[in-house]
Amino acid sequence: MNKQISRLAVVAMVLISALILATTYWQAWAAGGLADRQDNAIQQVAQFTIKRGLIYASDGKTVLAANKPTKTADHILFFRRYPKGPLATHVVGYSTRYRNRAGLERSENDYLTGANGNLGAVFSTEIDKLKGQTVKGNSLVLTIDANLQALANRALAGKCGSVVAIEPTTGRVLVMASSPTYNPNIAEKPNFLQLVERIKGGCDYLAPLLNRATNGLFTPGSTFKIVTVSAALDTGKYTPDSNFQDPGYCTEYNKPVYNSGNPDQNGPEQFGSLSLFTGFQHSVNSVFCNVGKELGAATVLDYAKRFGYYSVPPLETPLNERSPSGLYQNHLLFRPKDPNAKVDPGRLAFGQERMLVTPLQSVMVTAAIANGGLVPKPYVVARVLDPHGKTIRTTKADDLGRAVKRSTADEVTQMMIAAVTGGTGTAAQIPGIQVAGKTGTAETGVNHVNTTWFTSFAPADAPRIAITVVLEQQHGFGGTTAAPIARQIMQAYLSRGSK
Amino acid sequence: MRYTVPNADPYLLPMAGLLAAIGVTEIYRLGPDDAFKQGLWIVIALVLFVVTLVALRHDYRVLESYKYLFGIGAILLLLLPAVPGIGTTVNGARLWVHVGAFRFQPGELAKIFLIVFLAGYLREKREMLAQFRPKDVGPLLVIWGGAMLVLVETNDLGSALLFFGIFLAMLYVATDRLLYVGAGAVLFVVGAAGVYQVVGHVRDRITIWLHPWTDKPVYCALTGGKALRQDCQSYQLVKSLYSIAHGNFGGTGLGKGTFVNAAGQSIIPYVNTDFIYSALAQELGLVGAAGLLLVYMLFVARGFRIALMATDGFSKLLAAGLTFGFALQTFIIVGGIVRLIPLTGITLPFVSYGGSSVVANFVLLAGLLLVSNRANTERL
């Protein structure tokens, strides 16, 4: 019988070996995939055994996200607490037990949980695991200036809109505010969504969870003229002195497009003979309508793309919390094969048509003009610190390429200065500091209800801050509603002196 | 042991002790109260282990004379859970017997009885069976019917597979006829397929095995509504896989694993009985889990060595049957957990929480030691 017994023994050995192989499969090959599954209850708990890194404002002291230890049968779990409440909700996001994460808490999860970092940091995380100690994540120092951010939140209180400010030379995001907002500490509550629904604000479509700065798409109105005028000058087809005749309207498709369509002008003004420079200063639609017709929609869109339109602006926040700017049709980015035939060039030139822009994209355009034509790459995470507070990564300033020639940027700057000193944006003047800006007042389709914009940078000769303010459902103009907010924030920043 | 089986294999008892110790440690970590009870059961099991050794110290082969008694005993034990009043259905499978506060799975003991019976019966009839005459197929069909009966009666694919697997293995060892094994396997598959059509519980297990995850909500029998299968029927299997995967290579470390959610509820139901392997795999990692399985492999290797060394047919069949039963049970439960085969609720020998399992496996160990002692003594 020994032959049979030996064979049976082999069968038994093969069976147990199969178990070892199968276990290896689950613990080595399949482990990563399983860990990412939504219903993985073990990961849902285990992730909280990690003491997440903190999130600081730009001063490296103001804590935006901290931990609250809680004991359970198995472990000490670390849940999130946001000491500053709604200060920078949309950037920081939340990390909770019951919901997915949002904001940097989601996109920078690998750093915050210590799963990423330099080799040394990853190594010490593994050592902590082996020693059975609590794994500590890496902390983030943001570029967000807590004081300016608070100022922007106060200015936006009760309104719907957004303020984004960046350093034009580096792309550091100083302010990223979106209103209405919410306190991220309520995200932990099971009835979070009902609580959010109860938030009140100044517009029909509240959506407090939406980061309007990066995900809000607004009709740019006259702020888009910065792109159009850049195209006009950079192609060499126009100079600031190019002459126009303004009868109060421009003729497109054999129909007049009246200046009165632009509420930045009080009534259907007629400027008669004027230069491109003056047309920009006073935001004369007929001038830009004619520029658009001459350049063609394709050229204007091409320049828009150079400024970053039609691609999702780079930032550390999650990809689905950022939108590309451009022409939209049926809620989708509209990419016509033949723009000159499919797009109304006149209306595109003064920022109507189907053009939709995020405040972040708008400030990138302004910052590019301030930066001599180079589009700065925006970033919001300045440094990553290991658990001992040592810097393990510093974000280096970078650019996204050149949008226009330096000479073009300088000419546009002069026009933007004129718009503030004696044009539509006089409300943004700061005593002793030269401000360059552009207003925008976009029609919403409802009479006397507009989306108002102001985008500017200062000081004009050595720019330190570029800012875009957008407000929804306003009865006034960009120059009267948005410009004062931009001025207030620029003034507060510049009055501190250079760091 | 020195006194009763001085020449027995010296490795088996320490390995069983190691496995039981690992089990108690993990059970303690999962629930200290259960660990105390398990400790108590191990003491009872050791007493029965010693009783078996002492009672059969002269010649265990007397058991052969009572083989039919064991055969009938095995059948009675298997039918016990079906007796109204004392049988209990747990998890859709009818495997338990309740007498007062005392609860046990008679199937565990029936397994050993069956092996003793088969060893005796096959030793006697092996020459006849080896000739493979049509009239000898009768007993085969009877046992097949028995296994199917067990399957239908207990609703448990695992037990049926275990019993029938042991039977086929021993039949093969006795007769060297692979034809029996082939025919038996075909019959089992046909029978199981028939049962699959009839019994919903078995069908569920197969569905869960093949498709534990669904992307869209499907009918959920537990709530009557629609749910993703991983949130309904396959909840246990899927959570157990997550547990294994979370262990990765090195494991979380003993006591550092995650078994309760943030609200304090247990994530894997029956983690300390049927699913103890997934708990161990999480805390000890691949290194520990593979190490554990290697201990089982060594145990099985020693067991078959005893069968090879044994000098008479009954001893060989007994040792081979006990060892293969042990290996097959390990394969069925761990294989179910790692999704090699459909999941069925049986215990992991020596490690799982559960009185009947511990007692039965220590008695099985006693049997192997007795055979080993005899073989080695004769050689001296």
- A298 pLDDT higher than 90: yes
Amino acid at A267: G
B90, two tokens: 């747990």
Chain B: residue whose CA lies nearest to A26: B245
| Segment among A52-61, A201-210, A464-473, B39-48 with least mean pLDDT | A201-210
The pLDDT, as a whole number, for residue A279 is 92
Rounded to a whole number, what is the distance in Å from the CA of A32 to chain B's nearest CA?
Answer: 8
- CA-based nearest residue to A497, from A466, A460, A464: A464
CA neighbor of A104 nearest in space, from A373, A361, A384: A384
How do residues A458-486 score in pLDDT, each as one tens digit?
999 999 999 999 999 998 888 899 999 99
Q: Which of B216, B220, B228, B242 to substitute to test the interface with A, most A CBs within 10 Å?
A: B242
With CB atoms and an 8 Å threshold, state whether B293 touches A26: no
Provide the sign of the torsion angle of the four alpha carbons A251, A252, A257, A262, taken in this order: negative
Half-sphere exposure of A88 (CA within 13 A, CB side): 29
Choose from B213, B265, B304, B306 for mutation: most chain A CBs within 10 A.
B304
Is B316 in Cβ contact with A1 (below 8 Å)? Answer: yes
Please state the three-class secondary structure of A264-302 as a single string: CCCCCCCCEEEEHHHHHHCCCHHHHHHHHHHHCHHHHHH
- A371-401, pLDDT tens digit by residue? 999 999 999 999 999 888 899 899 999 999 9
Question: Between these two residues, A6 and B222, which has the higher pLDDT value?
Answer: A6
Asked if residue A190 has a cis previous peptide bond (ω within 30° of 0), the answer is: no
Cβ <8 Å between A8 and B173: yes
What average pLDDT does range A440-453 have in this prediction? 86
| DSSP helix/strand/coil, A436 | strand
A217 and A392 in contact (C-beta within 8 Å)? no
Give CA–CA dist B150/B142, Å, rounded: 12
In whole angstroms, give the CA distance from residue A293 to residue A288: 8
Average pLDDT of chain B, as a whole number: 84
Predicted confidence at residue A29, as pLDDT, reads: 84
Average pLDDT over residues A98-120: 78
Q: How many CB pairs under 8 A join A and B?
A: 162
Q: Which two tokens stand for residue A287?
A: 């001038």
Q: Do B296 and A25 touch (CB under 8 A)?
A: no
In one-letter notation, the amino acid at residue A151 is L
pLDDT band at B372 (very low <50, low <70, confident <90, very high): very high
Write the pLDDT tens digit of every residue in B45-61. 999 999 999 998 888 88
Q: What are the pLDDT digits (tens) for A75-108?
A: 788 888 999 999 999 999 998 876 678 999 999 9
What burial class does residue B43 get, using C-beta atoms within 10 Å of its C-beta: 0-12 exposed, 13-18 middle, 19+ buried? Answer: exposed
| Whole-angstrom distance, CA of residue B335 vs CA of residue B341 | 6
The distance from CA A366 to its chain's CA centroid, rounded to whole angstroms, is 14
Q: How far apart are CA B173 and CA B115, in angstroms?
A: 13
Asked whether the beta carbons of B70 and B367 are under 8 A apart, the reply is no
| B121 or B320: which leads in pLDDT | B320
Question: Which chain A residues contact residue B228 at CB under 8 A?
Answer: 39
Residues A447 and A443: their CA atoms lie apart, in Å, by: 8
- Contact state of B289 with A31 under an 8 Å Cβ cutoff: no
Residue in B241, B284, B249, B248 with CA at minimum distance from that of residue B29: B284
Q: Residue B93: exposed, middle, or buried by beta-carbon count in 10 A (0-12, 13-18, 19+)?
A: buried
**Chain B interface mutation, best of A74, A77, A99, highest count of B Cβ atoms under 10 Å:** A74
Rg (CA), chain A: 27
The verdict on A44 touching B (C-beta cutoff 8 Å) is yes
Report H helices in A325-380. Answer: 339-342, 345-349, 359-370
- The C-alpha atoms of residue B197 and residue B195 are separated, in whole angstroms, by 5
d(CA B132, CA A247): 112
Model confidence pLDDT, tens digit, residues B264-281: 677 887 787 788 899 999
Neighbouring CB atoms inside 10 A of A423's CB total 21
Nearest partner of A346 among A269, A302, A287, A306, judged by Cα: A287
Mean pLDDT of B104-127: 85
- Tell me which chain A residues have a C-beta less than 8 angstroms from the C-beta of B256: 75, 132
Q: What tokens does A137 get? A: 């994540």
pLDDT at site A116: 61
pLDDT at A128 > cutoff 70? no
Closest CA to A322 of A353, A354, A359: A359
- Which residues in chain B are closer than 8 Å to A38, comparing Cβ atoms? none
Contact B258, A45 (CB under 8 A): yes
Chain A: residue whose CA lies nearest to B261: A45
What is Dmax (Cα atoms) for chain B?
A: 69
pLDDT band with cut points at 50, 70 and 90 for residue B74: confident
Residues of A in contact with B310 (CB under 8 A): none
- The larger pLDDT score, comparing residue A98 to residue B130, is at B130
Choose among A452, A431, A432, A455: nearest CA to A442: A452
β-strand partners of A381: A142
> Under an 8 A CB cutoff, do A72 and B174 touch?
no
- Bond into A168 cis (ω within 30): no
Residue A120 has a pLDDT of 62
Distance CA B339, CA A18 (A): 11
Quote the DSSP letter at residue B348: P
- Which residues from A are below 8 Å from B327, CB to CB? 12, 15-16
**Closest listed residue to residue B29, CA positions, set A462, A115, A75, A66:** A75
pLDDT digit string, tens, across residues A36-48: 776 777 877 777 8
Residue A261's pLDDT is: 47
pLDDT digits (tens, 9 = 90+) for B322-344: 999 999 999 999 999 999 988 88
In the predicted structure, residue A268 carries a pLDDT above the cut 70: no
- What is the pTM assigned to this prediction? 0.69
Contact predicate A360/A313, CB 8 Å: yes
Is A9 within 8 Å of B253 when comparing Cβ atoms? no
What ipTM describes this predicted complex?
Answer: 0.91
- Is A23 close to B286, i.e. CB distance below 8 A? yes
A347-378 pLDDT, tens digit per residue, is 999 988 889 999 999 999 999 999 999 999 99
Which residue do the tokens 């006990």 mark?
Answer: B322
User: What are the C-alpha distances in Å from A308 to residues A215, A361, A366?
Assistant: 15, 7, 12
Residue A170 DSSP class: T
pLDDT, position A126: 63
d(CA B107, CA A102) in angstroms, rounded, equals 52
β-strand A55-56 against A139-142: which pairing, if any? Answer: parallel
Rounded to an integer, the average pLDDT of B177-203 is 80
Q: Which residue of B has its CA nearest to A32?
A: B245
User: Residue A123: what pLDDT?
Assistant: 66
Least confident among A126-140, A388-402, A414-428, A439-453: A126-140
Chain B residue with Cα closest to A34: B242
The pLDDT assigned to B151 comes to 63
Please tell me which residue, B144 or B63, carries the higher pLDDT value.
B63
Residues whose CB falls within 8 Å of the CB of residue A92, separated by 6 or more in sequence, listed in order: A55, A64, A65, A82, A103, A104, A105, A142, A184
> What does the alpha-carbon distance between residue B361 and residue B356 come to, in Å, rounded to a whole number?
8
Q: Could you tell me what percent of chain A has a pLDDT over 90?
A: 60
Backbone φ and ψ for A442, nearest 5 degrees, come out as: -105, 135
